[in-house]
């Protein structure tokens, strides 16, 4: 299966302190071009994500966005700040030593004291592990999207290959027809100019004309290139550069075919081939 370079994926996961989000967008590019948009507090995750993406993708401009969003309504993990609690206890003892009549602190008073309760935070190691797992999911979804797009591109390309085969098969009979028409026209012109004994001259001129408009070699090369396009598409993998080269070769043969056109039918066929090749080239630009 061939793969498109166009795709999108967005995944998220609940972690301590909020929701970790990873978003991947990819478009066509000659090489693998990775762009990251990561806040400073999550910058430690970039290297791992960059390595994971580069291991799975070969071409394309990939935009990776990482964010951590906090939600006031979601469950929050809290923990006692032991250091703040000890400090509060020392302060309470000092106050009671100076003011013996003061009531002791209640549990609710202690918990409301600033700094005693701390929001749970995820360690850097845990954050890296969560990001690695989430990144794997995001890359898998991106590849799946690129695969679906690649299957559509393959269908379009193979349809154009089929249409080109029909055109190539249809143009072959036009050459003998063009030679016959030229022979009749040339013979009449020579008879008008030179008289009756012109058969040998006609044969010589027809032989030269036949060599000039012979397109059998171009037709065979077109068929060979079309066979290769089908083989590359069927094989799949990173086929974009190979297919782009084949589009250039197909276009070169179509141009030669047009330059040798001895009839309007052959010229029209060459133009049709160039149109189909251009349509395929547009699709090939998006293939990895």
Tens of pLDDT along 170-209? 877 766 666 566 555 655 665 665 555 556 655 655 555 5
Supply the pLDDT for residue 92: 83
Quickly tell me which residue has 């008073």 as its tokens: 109
Query: Where is mean pLDDT largest: 80-84, 181-185, 224-228?
Result: 224-228
Nearest to 178 by CA among 202, 204, 209: 209
Rounded CA-CA distance 210/179 in Å is: 7
Statement: residue 20 has pLDDT above 50: yes
Return the pLDDT at 15.
78
Instruction: Say if residues 198 and 190 touch (Cβ distance below 8 Å).
Output: yes
DSSP strand pairing (18-27 vs 7-15): antiparallel
Residue predicted with more confidence, 264 or 273? 273
- Least confident segment among 150-164, 187-201, 235-249: 187-201
Q: Which pTM value belongs to this model?
A: 0.68
Banded pLDDT at 78 (limits 50, 70, 90)? low
Q: Which residue has the higher pLDDT, 113 or 175?
A: 113
Tokens of 285: 């630009």
Question: Among 70-79, 131-140, 201-210, 260-269, which range has the highest average pLDDT?
Answer: 131-140
Span of 180-184, 241-245, 273-277 with lowest mean pLDDT: 180-184
pLDDT of amino acid 27: 93
The pLDDT > 90 percentage for the chain reads 41
């Amino acid at each position: 299966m061939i793969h498109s370079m166009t795709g999108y994926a967005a995944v998220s996961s609940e972690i301590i302190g909020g929701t970790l989000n990873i978003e991947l967008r990819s478009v066509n590019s000659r090489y693998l071009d990775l762009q990251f948009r990561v806040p400073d507090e999550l910058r430690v995750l970039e290297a791992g994500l960059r390595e994971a993406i580069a291991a799975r993708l070969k071409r394309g401009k990939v935009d990776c966005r990482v964010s951590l969003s906090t939600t006031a309504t979601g469950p929050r993990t809290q923990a006692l700040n032991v250091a703040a609690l000890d400090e509060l206890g020392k302060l309470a003892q000092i106050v009671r030593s100076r003011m013996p009549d003061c009531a002791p602190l209640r549990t609710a008073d202690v918990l409301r004291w600033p700094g005693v309760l701390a929001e749970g935070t995820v360690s850097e190691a845990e954050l890296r592990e969560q990001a690695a797992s989430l990144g794997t999911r995001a890359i898998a979804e991106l590849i799946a999207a690129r695969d679906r797009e690649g299957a559509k591109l393959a269908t379009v390309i193979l349809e154009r290959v089929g249409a080109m085969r029909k055109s190539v098969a249809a143009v072959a009979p036009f050459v003998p027809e063009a030679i016959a028409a030229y022979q009749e026209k040339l013979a009449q012109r020579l008879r008008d100019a030179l008289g009756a004994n012109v058969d040998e001259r006609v044969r010589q001129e027809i032989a030269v004309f036949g060599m000039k408009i012979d397109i059998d070699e171009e037709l065979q090369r077109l068929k060979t290139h079309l066979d290769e396009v089908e083989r590359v598409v069927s094989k799949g993998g990173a086929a974009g550069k190979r297919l782009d080269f084949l589009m250039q070769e197909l276009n070169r043969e179509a141009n030669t075919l047009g330059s040798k056109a001895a009839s309007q039918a052959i010229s029209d066929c060459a133009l049709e081939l160039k149109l189909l090749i251009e349509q395929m080239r547009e699709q090939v630009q998006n293939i990895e």
